[in-house]
Amino acid sequence: MQIDIISLFPEMFAGPFGQSITKRAIENNLLNVQITNPRQFAYDKHQQVDDAPFGGGNGMVLKPEPFFRAVKHIKDNTEFINRRIVLMCPSGQPFTQAKAKELAGYDQLIFVCGHYEGFDARITDHLVDEAISIGDYVLTGGELPAMVIVDALSRMLPGVLGSAESAPTDSFYAGLLECPQYTRPREYHGFSVPDILLSGDHAKINLWRRREALRVTLYARPDLLEKIELDATDLKLLAEIKAERRGS
């Protein structure tokens, strides 16, 4: 997958993209990340990318020319057809695991990161395909959200994770939060690993894990249960969990 990021601060990406899973994905040619600074596409010698807003107001607004030209430059130098241009913006649609899976289906993603008081509306209305927000809060710029999204979607790419089963068991992947996990030692500070996980009965273990994922989701994020399709077994398990909860 080709990732292009348009950012006024390219140096911010060196650390996060030079570590862990993202680094391995890049080294294994599963992910190619390029950072483009829109300043190099400004018209004046000072490489100005912002200006005062028409009509007055506080702060500076990012100008359209450098960003339109930066996107055109990227398109002219890549041959992908299945691409998406994404704006990092507080007013965008909330980022979810479903959106990560959707974005992972493109051959090329172009992320547009902003700063200052926002973008000229011609960027948001006519340049990008969609705007995404990672939460209901304001950050200094779009770089951190872009890093979060690239990290999340890269896990969806075949071959990126060490185990093919790792991504499907992540929280939110299938709509539920992840079930509790345990490793050695079997006992620690008087707390023991559930016996079922040591039984070797994989059918019972899988049922236990599903039950616990439902339990965790019910207690922590019950709203998620309204967004997924539950089968008869899930509904039976939920009824048992709720009965236990009322009896506690």
Give the global pTM.
Answer: 0.86
Binding site for S-adenosyl-L-methionine, by residue number, is 114, 134-139
pLDDT at 211 over 60: yes
User: pLDDT tens across 153-162, in order?
Assistant: 999 899 998 6
In the chain, domain spans:
2-154, 174-247
Q: What's residue 57's pLDDT?
A: 86
Annotated catalytic residue within 170, 209, 221, 234: 170
Q: Cβ distance 146 to 85 under 8 Å?
A: no
Please name the residue that has the structure tokens 């130098």: 77
pLDDT given for residue 121 in this prediction? 95
We find that the CATH architecture of domain 2-154 is: 3-Layer(aba) Sandwich (3.40)
Q: What is the pLDDT of residue 175?
A: 86
Q: What percent of the chain has pLDDT over 90?
A: 85
Average of pLDDT values for 189-205?
97
Concerning whether 170 is annotated as a catalytic residue, the answer is: yes
Catalytic residue among 50, 120, 143, 155: 155
Quick one: pLDDT at residue 9? 96
Q: Which CATH class is domain 174-247?
A: mainly alpha
The mean pLDDT of the chain is 93
Kindly report, residue by residue over 42-82, the tens digit of the pLDDT: 998 899 999 999 999 888 999 999 999 999 999 999 999 99
Query: Which residue of the set 24, 69, 117, 221 is catalytic?
Result: 117
Residue 157's identity, in one-letter code, is L
Q: What is the mean pLDDT of residues 149-175?
A: 75
Contacts of 79 (CB under 8 A, 6+ apart): none
pLDDT grade for 172, boundaries at 50, 70 and 90: low
- 98 and 132 Cβ atoms separated by less than 8 Å: no
Is the confidence at residue 96, as pLDDT, over 80?
yes
Per annotation, catalytic residue among 90, 178, 221, 234: 90
R_g of the chain computed on alpha carbons: 23
* CB-based contacts of 101, cutoff 8 Å, min separation 6: 153, 156, 173
Residue spans of alpha helices (H) in 77-201: 97-103, 121-126, 143-154
Nearest to 182 by CA among 204, 198, 160: 198
Is position 90 annotated as part of the catalytic site? yes
Average confidence (pLDDT) over 31-40:
98
Spatial distance between the Cα atoms of 149 and 169, rounded to a whole number of angstroms: 18
